[in-house]
Amino acid sequence: MVVGRRRAAEERREFEEFAHTRGAALFRTALLLCGDWHLAEDLTQTALARIYASWHRVKQAESPTAYARTVLVRCYLSHRRLRRSTELPVLDGLPEQAAPDHDPALRVALLAALAELPPKDRAVLVLRYWEDRSVDETAAELQLSPGTVRVRALRALTRLRRQLAPHLDSLVP
């Protein structure tokens, strides 16, 4: 019984360390996926809760970080499927300060255009270009074929370019 408690305490400590080191990155990914600060916090918390529930299996995975990201993306897609059609995502919860050396107007315009994309297209773009995942890694995380990831990325980038085209003169110096 004492050994079981020690093992449970050790697993809890390992998970807390993982959540502390990877939580911010998961939150940033969630924020890019959903565009809502509070929903990103909820998605991150839900993903971490699911990871904790199966931590004994997660810690043995080849990449616990990739596993966590997959859980987060699936939480986001599940949330999008359950949303009522009358709810609209809001972007007023974005951080007040942009990253250094970036144009805040361009960043806001890009996030607004990203919010207009369908959830799976948005997930493909965030994983491929923000998280810098390969086509195969993105396909595995979203349970899509590599060809589908390529097509979704191409079409989503085309939509983004089309949405940002009228604003490019004022956004890019």
Q: What is the pLDDT of residues 115-158, one digit of tens each?
A: 889 999 999 999 998 888 899 999 998 999 999 999 999 999 99
d(CA 46, CA 73): 11
Question: Residue 12 is inside which H or E element, if any?
Answer: helix 2-34
DSSP type of residue 94 = S
Q: To the nearest 5 percent, what fractions of the chain are helix, strand and coil? A: 75, 0, 25
Compute the mean pLDDT over every residue in the chain, rounded to the nearest whole number.
Answer: 84
CA distances from 152 to 53, 60, 80, 121, 132 (A): 32, 32, 18, 6, 16
CA distance 65 to 152: 24
Give, to the nearest 10 degrees, the angle between helix 64-82 and helix 135-142: 50
The pLDDT confidence band at residue 1, using thresholds 50, 70 and 90, is low
Q: What angle do CA 150, 145, 116 make, to 5 degrees?
A: 50
